[in-house]
Amino acid sequence: MEELNSKDWFEKSSSDTGAVILDVRTPEECEEGIIPGAMQMDILNPGEFMQKAQELDASKSYYVYCRAGGRSAQACAVLKSLGINDTYNLVGGITEWDGPIEK
């Protein structure tokens, strides 16, 4: 897992042709807005999270965020345990995000 600030995370994910953006917040938190193109996988629902995580393509890069950066770091560790090596955690989460938001 690589820890990236908002600027670096946005630049790297925008230029990465194999990028998948994962929002690991709850559905209620996602109602406040998401990063465009993000796939929601609630890490606080472990059964569903693991099921979806096991279906991910390990050849892609995963850009992961939550509200403040803690749950997304945890999600990156879980993905690594499943053989997904290219994970990028958004330091500070969506609260530190300077890029676009969809409502």
* Cα separation of the two ends of the chain: 28
Residue ranges and CATH numbers for the domains of the chain are 2-96 (3.40.250.10)
State CA 16 to chain mean position distance: 14
Between the alpha carbon of residue 86 and those of residues 13, 18, 95, the distances in Å are 11, 10, 23
pLDDT at 67: 97
Angstrom distance (rounded) from CA 58 to CA 86: 8
pLDDT at 17: 94
State CA 58 to chain mean position distance: 14
Strand partners, 3: 89
User: 41-55 pLDDT, tens per residue?
Assistant: 999 999 999 999 999
Find, among 15, 12, 45, the residue nearest to 30 by Cα. Answer: 45
User: 59-69 pLDDT, tens per residue?
Assistant: 999 999 999 99
**Which residues of the chain fall below pLDDT 70?**
none
pLDDT at 45: 97
Full-model pTM: 0.96
pLDDT at 4: 97
Phi-psi map region of 36: left, alpha, beta (phi>0 left; psi -120 to 50 alpha):
beta
pLDDT at 103: 85
